[in-house]
Amino acid sequence: YEPLWNSANVDHVQITVAETVGLEDRVTYYDKAGALRDMVQNHMLQLLCLVAMEAPSSMDADAVRDEKLKVL
């Protein structure tokens, strides 16, 4: 991450969610869960954590998870 991925070199991060795929066979799921729960709770929070977290001590799943939790 360092020395480039830091506040001195990164002004801002913009994440755009622009799906080109329709609901297709996910209509039943979307009716129950809603787009907010599907996109924000799952995908967008994962992206936020990956962009904002500190470099993990290793790429081990537990180390990555621990850094993501620090963001949240």
Angle between helices 61-71 and 45-52 (to 10 degrees): 100
Which residues, 6+ apart, have CB-to-CB distance to 60 below 8 Å? Answer: none
Pairwise CA distance, residues 66 & 56, whole Å: 8
Our answer to whether residue 43 is catalytic in this structure is yes
Active site residue: 37, 43, 65, 70, which one? 43
Q: Could you list the active site residues?
A: 43
